[in-house]
Structure 1
Amino acid sequence: MENATTIRSEIEKELKLGGYTFNSFGQATGLNRGIFSAMLNGNPPKPISVRQMDLITKALNYPEDWLYDLYVDECFYDGRPHWKRVKPFLIRCVEVGNLRCVEKVLSRLMEDLNHIPTIFNLAEELYEEGKLKEAIPFYECVIENEKYQHSERLAISHYRIFSISVSGIMKINLEAALRFVPFRNRVPLDYHLDGLLKLSNLYYNLNQWKEAERYADELRSLASIVCKNKENNNLNTERHLVVYYGQGYLIKGNALEKQEKYEEAMKYISGYADLNWFENLGGIGQKEVQKFTLWANANQLNLKILMGDTGSLPIYIQFLKDNPPEILLGLLTIVESANKHGFLIENILQQFSRELNSFNNELSMEASYYKQSFSYHTYADLCYQLTIYMFNNHFHEKGIYYVLKCLRKCLQINNKEKFMICTAMFEKFRAQATKDQGSEYESIMEEVLINANKKPEIHSNYRAF
């Protein structure tokens, strides 16, 4: 009870300093005079709620978590945790960023491991309300203290942390993935599907093609089993079931393409080219099937172009004009192939000059059905390939134009590896830069130094269609 007295002593001290009476301070806080008197002078004193504490703090013009350290004991008023105070206090602590008090309360609660289910339920409640970051400390508490290592609760906590932590900072993504991987087969079926889709997309965006293949294979296998079992029709997955089945084939083929295994990649296109046979599609499922058919057509042409089939370029160009959201990826394919096989594409670039200028506009990215973060990474790749193309063909000013675009985008999405390569490329051709281009480069480098002293911005990073 020492801190319970201290919190009251602190309030009483401030009342005396401010010359308040119970009546005048009750008016300042909006609290009933009788309730306020019972909190300070009752025998025993009436417990203080989190809301009342916040009203008192506001009336005294102190920072909102002024009394939070003292309030920890109020949560354990008679030595036992009182959930009516513990729960709102924990939520307020994470809302204001006072993790120190969260740790204090959780440490006290974990003296009795029977409180773990309650902590887990709080985490789930916050997650369902969309308070994802607020839920993290409670999932972490479950992970650290769960005594049954094969419990579903532990596996779900790892899954939730992984889902929340998926961001544009690749190191964090990978750490979250590595923690979740050993538990992926222990979560409920709907989370299992979502987890495998996120893992395969994550490793694809990290350019770890073998790992992307591995989880795409697992996803394809699991989705196939689920499709055959009609009892699984009521799964509460984030996406329609057809997405998991199709993505298993799509990501597998795309990962093979990135390893230049073009003929092998071509074999997987048939797995998602026509999914109209899928049961219970509904309106949402039909739209997903249409997208897979579109991507199948696009990827067949992609692979032909990447294998050097320039005769397919007119068909591919018309396809891109008919399907504007595919232009960004399509141009990347064309430029990559031009760099690999040594053919010129000036005429093609001219045809898509308007789109090339608009890709750096966020509104144009939002108009696509691709996730914005995926479009950012694709645009960075396109600028990188255009830089190589322009320098290879001695268009130095244009090469510097695109290397600067690539540097800007890599800085935004935190792609350090490509940023370093582009920096080296700029330095190699620095003498060819105009005065304005030189100033632009210096501005980017200044931004790097500024960002070094700030917390990095978080973006979504996994490829989700």
Structure 2
Amino acid sequence: MLDMAVAFENWNKVMERADMLYQCVQSIHEERQEYQSKGIPTPYIHTERPLVYYYGFSHLMRGIAHQKMGEADQARAYIDQYADLGWMEDLDEVGMQVVQEFRHKAQVNRYALEIEAGQVQLLEEFVNFLLEHPEEGLAGLKVITQAAVRHRWQIDRVLQVFEDQIQGDSKKMNSSNNDDMYHFCYQRALYEQWMGRAQDAVEFILQAIRLANRLGMDRYFIRCTALLESLREEATGEQIGRYRVMLEEMK
């Protein structure tokens, strides 16, 4: 339910579901503590992942929701929560791995939050972090490109650094990166439009349209076609031809 709410960008629903998850996890944790304090064997409750994961995930989702709603201070507070989950008792090797994974997510999301807020002085540091962690590259570029559009930064040098990686990611599309690639292509189209490179913008919006169709997200598709129509007069005949063929294939 949380994943669905995120996909539809319903941030109030994300908060509601994340709160429900947290309350469930907290109840299980408190019950375990109560049994342990009384020296009574703890009842077994099957969970697909260690309990610490659900603590981290509920904080992560609440942090993302606050960030998307423009509530940066609240988002920072939740990032601090899932950055430090080592307080939980009886963490085994798998649990400690979860703690490390959320610590890494917190580092990524702190950068994203501050970059989105316009902290351009952190851009080079974030780029270096992404180069050290290429698995975060596409999601990080999405953040950087969106910030560049919002704050009017020229990031051609940054995009050049990641050009090979972007092309590689586009050839290895799967369900795990379709959404990030869509958002990158859409924001990149806006960036190229702002930079006065209309035909490059059209190329990226055509990629975004394909991805929107693959994701089955109508509102993404509508957003893309609106942008393309605003660029139609500056597009080449060949680009418009591909656009028409694409629309026909989607019927």
Identify whether the pair has TM-score above 0.5, normalized to the shorter chain.
yes
Partner of 1:446: 248
Q: Give, in angstroms, the shift of residue 344 of structure 1.
A: 0.9
Structure 1 residue 275 and structure 2 residue 85: aligned? yes
Partner of 1:150: none
**Corresponding residue to 2:16 among 214, 225, 228:** 214
Partner of 2:227: 425
Q: Give, in angstroms, the shift of residue 205 of structure 1.
A: 1.5
Partner of 1:259: 69
**Corresponding residue to 2:133 among 319, 323, 335:** 323
Conservation of the 8 A alpha-carbon contact between 1:201 and 1:251: no
Structure 1 residue 382 and structure 2 residue 184: aligned? yes
Partner of 1:412: 214
What secondary structure sits across from 1:237 in the alignment?
coil
Deviations 1:244-281 (A, max 9, x none): 11011000000111112112211111111022232343
Deviates more, 1:276-285 or 1:312-321: 276-285
Superposed CA RMSD in Å reads: 1.7
Larger Rg: 1
Q: Give, in angstroms, the shift of residue 329 of structure 1.
A: 1.3
User: Across the two proteins, how many residue pairs are aligned to each other?
Assistant: 243
Q: Give, in angstroms, the shift of residue 233 of structure 1.
A: 6.7
Give the letter aligned to residue 158 of structure 2: I
Partner of 2:4: 202
Q: Give, in angstroms, the shift of residue 234 of structure 1.
A: 2.9
Equivalent residues in 2 for 1:49-448 (5 A)?
199-230=1-32, 234-362=44-172, 373-448=175-250
Q: Give, in angstroms, the shift of residue 228 of structure 1.
A: 2.7
Deviations 1:297-352 (A, max 9, x none): 11111111111000011111111111111111111111111111111111111111
TM-score (norm 1): 0.50
- Stretches of structure 1 that go unaligned for 5 or more consecutive residues are 1-198, 366-371, 450-465
1:331 to 1:240, Cα distance in 2 relative to 1, 3 A: same
Distance (Å, rounded) in 2 between the aligned partners of 1:427 and 1:386: 16
Distance (Å, rounded) in 1 between the aligned partners of 2:62 and 2:144: 21
Give the letter aligned to residue 192 of structure 2: M
Distance (Å, rounded) in 2 between the aligned partners of 1:211 and 1:301: 25
Distance (Å, rounded) in 2 between the aligned partners of 1:323 and 1:439: 39
> Structure 1 segments of 4 or more deviating over 6 A?
none
1:433 to 1:248, Cα distance in 2 relative to 1, 3 A: same
What secondary structure sits across from 2:85 in the alignment?
coil
Identity of aligned residues (%): 29
Deviations 1:4-59 (A, max 9, x none): xxxxxxxxxxxxxxxxxxxxxxxxxxxxxxxxxxxxxxxxxxxxxxxxxxxxxxxx
Distance (Å, rounded) in 1 between the aligned partners of 2:43 and 2:58: 19
What secondary structure sits across from 1:276 in the alignment?
coil
What secondary structure sits across from 1:203 in the alignment?
helix
Distance (Å, rounded) in 1 between the aligned partners of 2:133 and 2:28: 32
What secondary structure sits across from 1:234 in the alignment?
coil
Partner of 1:146: none
Give the letter aligned to residue 357 of structure 1: Q
Distance (Å, rounded) in 2 between the aligned partners of 1:444 and 1:280: 55
Give the letter aligned to residue 248 of structure 1: S
What secondary structure sits across from 2:177 in the alignment?
helix
Give the letter aligned to residue 264 of structure 1: Q
Give the letter aligned to residue 5 of structure 2: Y
What secondary structure sits across from 1:373 in the alignment?
coil
Give the letter aligned to residue 423 of structure 1: T
What secondary structure sits across from 1:260 in the alignment?
coil
What secondary structure sits across from 1:214 in the alignment?
helix
